[in-house]
Each structure stands twice: as structure tokens, then as C-alpha cells.
Amino acid sequence: MKQLFLERSNPRNQAFFLCLVSLILFVVDGKSTVLTPVRQAAGSLVEPIVWLAVLPRRIAEHGSSFFELRDQQRLELFEQRRSSEMLQARQLKFEALVSENNRLRALLGSSAKVSDLVLIAEVVGVSPDPDQHYVMVDKGLNDGAFVGQAVIDATGLVGQVAETTTNLSKVLLVTDQSHAVPVLSIRTASQLIVEGTGNRNLLSMRHVSESLDLKVGDLLVTSGLGQRFPSGYPVAEIARYQLAPGAAFAEVLAKPSSHLQTLDHVLLVFDSVEDLIPDVALKTVGPADG
């Protein structure tokens, strides 16, 4: 006879036990890095699931280019060639400037580098919780990505790599609540730390003393302090500066330079050529526009 109720152990005890295990795991994994190797290894195994999520978009892109009219494609190609020529021309001047800048810095004895190398990555997944600001990108350990690596896009700093598996990385955005980045105001060279607020359009600065010369519209770029981010990438523009009478610190809010709500491609920044994996370097890497 078919058994109606198949129970091996008391389900209530089982559920209670697993709840407890979950809580302990959550505290351990949330507060420490003990489980990072486990996450890395197991994460590599479940990568195919993330690829499954990219599949529809890949098919759509392929399909739309397949059905696009030939004339339209020709026009697009023409325009892209023109813009590429223009960028190349600008690049000529840029390279001269970089070498000149590096020479001058060498004369001054300063070690800051201007030239950086980048790797293009596609955003393949987003955080399901809109209050956790991270994205998954399609480059991982195999491509030389590492935890703490700076991530930029064409308009400014995006964030940093927080976790990597074989072929994927999790990128924490500058607007995440747990993110902070040392910056420098271009106009006055004042040093600040910009923190994420949990709002995709807003960054904040704490402990800004009233004597600091800041005003709305000032551009903040990475200062390179702390050695995590390379210097000189735009991070944000000051959107609000308010000094209440009697307050110890000014309230300063800034708007991120890059469009963090609509990322589709980002660039991973490498400090030196040696960090790059050779065949990757040959294929996809070019100098970044600093």
C-alpha cells in the first residue's frame, strides 16, 4: 500500500535546527571572511545559472542584428569608424601628455601613475534587492580580476570588485551603504571621503568642517589615498552644500558621475601590465582614458 505520510524525522525539529544553522551561517559569513574560499569554489560551480540569465539578452541582441537592414548597419559602421578615428586622433595627444606627465612626476619624485590598463566586462546580473547596490559582471579569476579591483565606466568610478569566482565577479557600487572612497576636490585639492547612501543618485560626506572650501558643482576625483583606487577618476559632483548655523559639520551631498542605474558595460582597472593574464591582454586591453 502506498504510504500517505512519509516522514523520517520530526519536521518541526528539523526546521528549527535549519533556522538556527542559517542564522549562524549568516552571522559568520556576514561579519567575517572565513567562508570566502568556500564561496569562491561553490560560486564557480553555480556560474551556469547566471549565464542562463544572460541568455535571453544575448539572443535578442543577436536576433536584432540579424534582422537589421543592411543600409542601417552600413551607416552605423560608418559612424563608428568616424568616431573611432576621432578618438584615435585624440589618443595621440593623450599619449604624449601621459608620457610627459610621467616624466615630470619622475622629476618631482612622485610615484603616482597616470596610465592604467582596463578590461571591458559586461553586466550580467543585478542584485534582486534594490537596496543592496551590486552587479555581477562576466569577468572573473580567469581574466585576472581580483577582490578590491577598481571598476570604472566611460563617465567615472563605478565601484570595486567585492567577490570573484572563476568567470564572474560581484562589483560593489560606490552608492552602496557599505562603500567609501577617498576623493579630492579638483578645484581646491581638499581631501574628503565619499560614502554611499543606499540611494543610487546620492553620495554623502561626513565630518566636513566649515573651513573646507567646497561649493555646489565641484568635481570630486579619486585621490589614490589608501592605495585601493587609482587616482584621477571622477567620482561625483557636489550637489548640495549646507552649513547650518551652530552645526559642527557641513552637510554635503554629491551626485555620482557614472550612471549607476543603467550600467551595461564596465571597465576593470589594472595597475600594471604584469597583473594581466597574457592572452587576455592581447585580446581586449587598451589604455584607459584617464
Q: Which residues would be at the binding site for another protein (CB under 8 A)? A: 6, 11-12, 14-15, 18-19, 21-31, 35, 39, 42-43, 46, 49-50, 52-53, 55-57, 123-132, 134-136, 163, 170, 177-178, 198, 200, 261-262, 264
Report the nearest approach of another protein to the CB of residue 118 (Å). 21
Query: What φ, ψ does residue 37 adopt, rounded to 5°?
Result: -60, -40
Q: CA–CA separation, 160 vs 257, rounded Å?
A: 15
Which amino acid is residue 9, in one-letter code?
S
CA 132 to chain centre: 13
SS3 15: helix
Consecutive H or E run containing 199: none
Report the nearest approach of another protein to the CB of residue 22 (Å). 3
Q: Which is nearer to another protein, 95 or 131 (CB)?
A: 131
Alpha-carbon separation of residue 196 from 130, 170, 253 (angstroms): 14, 17, 10
Q: Which residues fall within 8 angstroms of residue 101, CB to CB, at 6 or more apart?
A: 114
Q: Which residues fall within 8 angstroms of residue 59, CB to CB, at 6 or more apart?
A: none
Report the nearest approach of another protein to the CB of residue 128 (Å). 5
Q: Which is nearer to another protein, 128 or 246 (CB)?
A: 128
Report the nearest approach of another protein to the CB of residue 73 (Å). 22
Q: Which is nearer to another protein, 139 or 241 (CB)?
A: 139
Q: Which is nearer to another protein, 176 or 218 (CB)?
A: 176
Report the nearest approach of another protein to the CB of residue 278 (Å). 29
Q: Which is nearer to another protein, 51 or 94 (CB)?
A: 51
Q: CA–CA separation, 239 vs 153, rounded Å?
A: 21
- Residue 150 C-beta-side C-alpha neighbours within 13 Å: 28
Q: Which is nearer to another protein, 22 or 83 (CB)?
A: 22
Report the nearest approach of another protein to the CB of residue 52 (Å). 4
